[in-house]
Amino acid sequence: MWKFIIVPLLVLLFLYLLFAPRKKPKQDGYIEELVKCEKCGIYCAPREAVIKDGRFFCSKQCAGVKDGSNRH
């Protein structure tokens, strides 16, 4: 008879582990400070921004940086 008690408990434990609150950084919903692209005015995350001459750009195109390969 015990298994009729233990099995639901195991299921509950399993569900608990599935849905247990995980430690998330509280910055999850936090909008990090954005920087404005000097060219097109789009705001983007600093870590994704391209910095050129101390100014932020949303992309290499806006920064005027040619993407990688130097063609001859």
Least gap, CB of 53 to Zn ion (angstroms): 15
Q: How far is the CB of 63 from Zn ion (least distance, A)?
A: 8
In single-letter form, the type of residue at position 42 comes to I
The 8 Å CB, 24+ separation contacts for 61-70 are 62/37, 62/38, 63/39
* CB nearer Zn ion, residue 35 or residue 58: 58
Residues in touch with Zn ion (CB under 5 A) = 37, 39-40, 58, 62
- The DSSP letter of residue 59 is S
Min. distance of Cβ 62 from Zn ion in angstroms?
Answer: 3
Contact 58, 42 (CB under 8 A): yes
For Zn ion, the closer CB: 12 or 45: 45
Q: Which is nearer to Zn ion, 10 or 65 (CB)?
A: 65
Helix (H) or strand (E) holding 52: strand 50-52
